Amino acid sequence: MKSEVKSSQLWTATSLAAEAGVAKSYVARLCRTGRISAQKFGSVWMISDEEGRRWLDERATKSKLHDAALTTEA
């Protein structure tokens, strides 16, 4: 992860998706369904820095667990 965003900034679905390496539509769907706590202003999802980093950390943890599971299966 790049971690270029300052801690006082807000994330958009686009910027959070870019940081995570996923599609903007995926992050927007997570916002719509409440998996990521966000507010929509017009057509832009705004996500607090704390919430964005929480989701990125959760995603990284799941990825590490998935990689470990694949290693033990081999």
Asked, for residue 4, whether it belongs to a domain, the answer is no
pLDDT at res. 45: 98
Domain count, the chain: 1
List, for residues 4-23, the tens digit of each pLDDT value.
Answer: 545 568 999 999 999 999 99
Please report, for the domain that includes residue 30, its CATH number. Answer: 1.10.1660
SS3 46: strand
Asked, for residue 28, whether it belongs to a domain, the answer is yes
Asked, for residue 5, whether it belongs to a domain, the answer is no
Going by their DSSP bridges, the two strands 11-12 and 44-47 should be labelled as antiparallel
Asked, for residue 54, whether it belongs to a domain, the answer is yes
Structural domain harbouring 40: 11-73
List, for residues 36-74, the tens digit of each pLDDT value.
Answer: 999 999 999 999 999 999 999 999 998 766 666 777 765
Asked, for residue 2, whether it belongs to a domain, the answer is no
pLDDT at res. 23: 98
Asked, for residue 19, whether it belongs to a domain, the answer is yes
Asked, for residue 27, whether it belongs to a domain, the answer is yes
* Residues in contact with 64: Cβ distance below 8 Å, sequence separation at least 6, in sequence order: none
